A = this chain, B = another copy of it.
């Protein structure tokens, strides 16, 4: 029963919340070793999941996300080992001050509690989410997708088997039971402290609309690059190519290019040519078409759209104000970039753009926990509460206040 799963998770957090960093690290190192030791079984179960998916006519791209081999499994174990080496946020003092009445007031980081993780195809999430939640002192209840069910069971059993008895239930995997199972989890107020959904927009909306527990979510990444008048055209071209072509299917990929009208005749044709040569389809506004004959006319729905493919919307805008207005209307609050050689416009862009990550003269693809120096991430939050951007260990903690006195009372 789900309520028993939650109760076991809560009991495990009591021990885990006060475990030392070294205890957590050595448990995770044993988990990583167990993933390697269970290689044969995990790959066998994965082959069955993959065969089922193929038999159902699943698209190649999805089968690829699901499929494991020795190299991918070893990368998964490596990710768990890397998480074990990260700084432990639990117990960290955020603030420490002395009040005039002599009270010492501290704010310290503590684990969040019991985290519900709802995700779709990729089985590496099972191991990485378990390791991240564990290292931050939390229990996690994993609800993976049905496509990967045998693989997830094999991974979870390897991980759980390597955990000490008194914290084994800090990692629990639930069988996928469709939307009903998701509802059960997102309505478990008091039993689940946070739900993190990772998957398509439909899943995220369903979770948000039905949740009574807090949710940190990420709808989509409609990322823009604004190329400012006077920008270095070679730099802008490399940033645009990297944003759109290096991995079009991810949330920090570029979906729309904005170019300042004052300098578009110089900037846009070479950038467009490089993208087209890279196999990208361009969908442009009228002013774009006038400068780039290869571009198709954009329909209104192309702006603000997450293509997740080698397709890019292109619009010529009137200066920084035009770019800011476009981003305000069509941006998703994920990642917004500017390429500029003007310091004051860079500064206005940094201040006025309201997004989880604002990038100046670099690729939007850097908005990622590893690239920003956080280590592994459990997801990227585009919500504003609790956390925004890549969620590493610190995002999986809360805090408590500690007040130390020598008998003080309030007057």
Contacts and interface: CB of A to CB of B under 8 A. Distances in A.
A405 B337 CA distance: 11
A386 interface: yes
Contacts of A365: 409-410
A402 B350 contact: yes
A2 interface: no
A239 interface: yes
Chain A interface, DSSP helix/strand/loop, else mixed? mixed
Contacts of A358: 400-403
Nearest to A328: B14
A189 interface: yes
A99 B371 contact: yes
Contacts of A388: 398-401
Interface residues of A, number: 66
Contact of A362 (B232, B363, B405): B405
A35 interface: no
A7 B399 CA distance: 34
Interface stretch (A39-47, A169-177, A207-215): A207-215
B17 A400 contact: no
B409 A239 contact: yes
A408 interface: yes
Contacts of A362: 103, 403-409
Nearest to A390: B401
A214 B18 CA distance: 29
Most chain B CB inside 10 Å of its own CB: which residue of A239, A372, A383: A372
Contacts of A232: 407
A276 interface: no
Given A351-B18, A365-B410, A408-B366, A193 B384 contact: yes
Contacts of A246: 409-410
A238 B409 CA distance: 7
Interface stretch (A70-78, A105-113, A298-306): A105-113
Contacts of A57: none
A89 interface: no
A189 B384 CA distance: 12
A189 B356 CA distance: 18
Nearest to A243: B409
A308 interface: no
Contact of A401 (B216, B241, B372): B372
A401 B383 contact: no
Interface in A29-52: none
27 contacts: A17-B352, A18-B351, A18-B352, A103-B366, A103-B371, A107-B389, A112-B385, A113-B384, A189-B208, A208-B212, A209-B212, A232-B407, A239-B409, A246-B409, A350-B402, A357-B403, A360-B402, A360-B405, A361-B404, A362-B408, A366-B403, A367-B403, A385-B385, A385-B398, A386-B386, A388-B398, A390-B401
Given A356-B400, A384-B398, A389-B401, 16 more contacts: A17-B352, A18-B351, A99-B371, A113-B384, A241-B409, A357-B400, A358-B401, A360-B404, A361-B407, A361-B408, A362-B403, A362-B409, A363-B405, A366-B405, A388-B399, A389-B400
Interface of A: 14, 17-18, 97, 99, 103, 105, 107, 110, 112-113, 189, 193-194, 208-209, 212, 214, 216, 232, 235, 238-239, 241-242, 246, 346, 350-352, 354-363, 365-367, 371-373, 383-386, 388-390, 398-410
**Top 3 A-B residue pairs of the complex, sorted by shortest distance between their CB atoms:** A362-B405, A242-B409, A235-B407
